[in-house]
Structure 1
Amino acid sequence: MKLNVVLYHPEIPQNTGNIMRSCVGFHAKLHLIRPLGFSLDEKKLKRSCVDYFDYLDYEVYEDYSDFCAKNKGKYYFFTRYGHQSPSVIDFKKEAQDQPIYLIFGAESTGIAYDILKENLNDCYRIPTTDKIRSLNLSNCAAIVLFLASEQLHDPEILAHEPDTLKGENFIDDVTLAELNDIHLEWKGGKQ
């Protein structure tokens, strides 16, 4: 089953671009809930997404109510106010009967408090030390996407790089001595 990443009022185009790339890499659909802090044509967004934008499955919604009306399933909210780790979620079990939506909030304000209060049992926080409030939005999305995809075993997710994307295979085709020579040349020549 395809995962769904939801960005509630995203503000920073570079974060959204990185998340777009992660969505393509993890075979997930991206849902963007307005207002957006950028245009979808913005150069910073496209640069962060690299050349994967054409492969992205995404949809934009006017507001949270519009999103909810069009997307039924299990919602998980990722917030600094969550009291449980996403590692406790059994994504495989939940995905058997319904789509899964991983919801992340705006970089500055997160998800609206009234939405979180209505969904307290489905609020999660990625554990960190007591030195920071939270991680960067795009890092959080990548972490949770990885956790979920590991459980779901999506056949679209490959553990190896496909031959169609490979250049020279340094691991299999190059000796350690040759790798050292390549590294030295890259750093400015052999000593």
Structure 2
Amino acid sequence: MLHVIFYEPRIPGNTGAAIRLSANTGAWLHLVDPLFDMEDSKLRRAGLDYHDLAHTLVHPTWTDCLKRIPGRIYAFTSHTTTLYTQVDWQDDDALLFGPEPTGLPEAVMDDPHVTARVRIPMVEGNRSLNLANSAAIGLYHAWHTLGFTGGH
């Protein structure tokens, strides 16, 4: 089973969309504090009625999150030349994404538990994609390379 990690997410609607993504792919969604009120109406609306179908864990710290990730961790960032499509994805791998306004801090990307940095290609001069969209792009590619195991 794949894992998606949102490190200190800031926008409830993006996390709600990721909850729906988790429910529809079977991936675990890990949320690292601090974050917003999990009862936020935007989070609920974006997640629709998928909250009970998703595998979501909230971790008080990055260290606590790491204890629950059994495989490799790939940090998604624009600060690398390696594409997410160049990874030989394996079951239990994790896709790590940073907060919407800033991206992942260097200290997190430099953590020895992080296997590598990868990026999603974009038109030159653009800053970033929406967080939930980035997670969907990366997760569906990884799941595809694993033969959509567990899906139908």
Confirm or deny that 1:34 pairs with 2:33.
Answer: yes
Aligned to 1:3: 2
Task: Indicate conservation of the 8 Å contact 2:16/2:45, yes or no.
Answer: yes
Name the SS of the counterpart of 1:70 in structure 2.
Answer: coil
* 1:108 corresponds to which of 74, 95, 101: 101
Identity of aligned residues (%): 34
- For residues 46-125 of structure 1, the aligned pairs below 5 Å read 46-91=44-89, 94-95=90-91, 99-118=92-111, 122-125=116-119
Give 1:47 deviation, angstroms.
0.2
With a CA cutoff of 8 Å and minimum separation of 6, indicate the structure with the bigger relative contact order.
2
* 1:143 corresponds to which of 114, 126, 137: 137
Aligned to 1:128: 122
Structure 1 residues 123 and 155: CA distance shift in structure 2, 3 A: closer
**1:141 partner amino acid:** A
Deviations 1:67-106 (A, max 9, x none): 1133332111101212211001111xx33xxx21111100
Name the SS of the counterpart of 1:18 in structure 2.
Answer: helix
CA distance in structure 2 between the partners assigned to 1:82 and 1:39 by the alignment: 33
More helix by share: 1
CA distance in structure 1 between the partners assigned to 2:149 and 2:108 by the alignment: 33
Aligned residues: 151
Give 1:59 deviation, angstroms.
0.7
Instruction: Provide TM-score, normalisation by structure 1.
Output: 0.74
CA distance in structure 2 between the partners assigned to 1:23 and 1:47 by the alignment: 15
- For residues 9-28 of structure 1, the aligned pairs below 5 Å read 9-28=8-27
Output the aligned Cα RMSD. 1.5
**2:33 partner amino acid:** R
Deviations 1:119-168 (A, max 9, x none): 6861011000113111110110000111011111234322xxxxxxxxxx
Task: Indicate conservation of the 8 Å contact 2:83/2:120, yes or no.
Answer: yes
Query: Structure 2 stretches of 5 or more lacking a match?
Result: none
Instruction: Provide TM-score, normalisation by structure 2.
Output: 0.92
